[in-house]
Copies of this chain bind each other. A is one copy, B any other.
Amino acid sequence: MNDLEKLAELSQKTSSKIVLLVVDGLGGLPHPETGKTELETARTPNLDRLAAKGACGLTEPVGAGITPGSAPGILALLGYDPLRYTIGRGALEAVGVDFDLQEGDVAARGNLCTVDQDGLISDRRAGRISTEKSTELCHLLGKIDLGIAQTFVLPVREHRFALVLRGRGLSADLGDSDPHKAGVPPRPVLPLTPGAETAAAAANRFIEEAKLLLRHHRPANMVLLRGFSHRPHHPDLGSVYKLEPAAIAAYPMYRGLARLVGMELLDTGSTVEEEFRTLQQHYAEHDFFFVHVKKTDAAGEDGDFERKVRAIEEVDAVLPLVLEMGPDVLVVTGDHSTPALMKGHSWHPVPFLLYSKWCRGGGVGKFCERTCLSGELGRLAAREAMALALAHALKLTKYGA
């Protein structure tokens, strides 16, 4: 019996409400000058007060030393073993732009890129062309008619797009055309298993047509495809936990992820305050809210320590909007660490705070990496978070006689 099956058996419908606030890339590393992490540097009186009363810990999203991508980090917090429940890059990208990916569709992550006169890749991201330009080119590519498969070309952001092939019997067992480096030509898409030949032919035909259509659009004069995948079939979050879940996320990928596990997507603005206002508006309609804040991660990825500090302070400043509603359980954590010093995701455990009237509490005076470790939850796996949230919301019945 895996964790989800166990929780499905124990979970029960109640009127209590859970808010899971994911502050993306929350964990950090100490600034060399001050010795303090982003979270330690930020002024966070509201979070600190909750930390003192709530249950704190440090989560490991996937496992010791493993740096998670965004999908495994979020899935783990929702209780899905990230080593078992995977999502292909293509599928994630497609659902992330609100595309209704259907059974049998094959999705790929695409890059508009630059190739030189010899056909060698000179820039895998076509100079990160504007979203406007990219959208225009995706529209052009969307006209490609493959005959054997219907084609959807979905602009995402800058050079990124998603390609969806819809047809009968298309396998997603395909190799990348993206060689993941410059100076070499794009690869042909190879069928990785017998039966994938039709899909490979369709993908290669798309690439050839795209090359022709884009030939005068340098720097975006070619495409690269990777992460061919079907829509995964993960257990429905609402059914497993007996919840009416809603997602408040502005950034496409997280919306896609939430949709894949069956959450209702709420329309929202992209600032933290707008997200919290969305929560207020829909508070009566659901009993589980996944609220995703992106800008902490974006600042960390940019290596901007100060901006990450301010983004954390922004969350803290508007947190009273959430507290006013009095959720039975409020969890504040991240899906992974994004230390500004590393300019990217990292493997470091993530501060975790669960606030409810049923916590032991005490001991942690400030919400940050070092204090959380001595909180009542210690070091925990991120996929334990959901069980803890349900338990503190009194949504889990007793196990065993």
A positions within 8 Å CB-CB of B: 1, 3, 6, 10, 29-30, 35, 37, 58, 62-72, 82-83, 86-89, 92, 109, 227, 342, 345-349, 358, 360-363, 369-370, 373-374, 376-381, 384, 386-392, 396-401
Contacts and interface: CB of A to CB of B under 8 A. Distances in A.
Contacts of A377: 64, 379
B373 A369 contact: no
A186 B141 CA distance: 65
Identical copies of this chain, number: 2
A38 to B, nearest CB: 12
Contact of A401 (B29, B64, B89, B346): B89
B63 A384 contact: yes
A71 to B, nearest CB: 5
Given A360-B30, A401-B92, A401-B227, A391 B65 contact: yes
Interface of A is mostly: loop
A369 B360 contact: yes
Nearest to A85: B400
Contact of A374 (B1, B64, B66, B374): B374
Contacts of A370: 360, 362-363, 376
Contact of A390 (B65, B348, B389): B65
B346 A387 contact: no
Given A1-B83, A373-B378, A401-B69, A64 B387 contact: yes
Nearest to A397: B67
Among A65, A345, A387: residue with most chain B CB under 10 A: A65
A30 B362 contact: yes
Contacts of A392: 65
B396 A347 contact: yes
A381 to B, nearest CB: 8
A42 B223 CA distance: 62
B391 A67 contact: yes
B70 A401 contact: yes
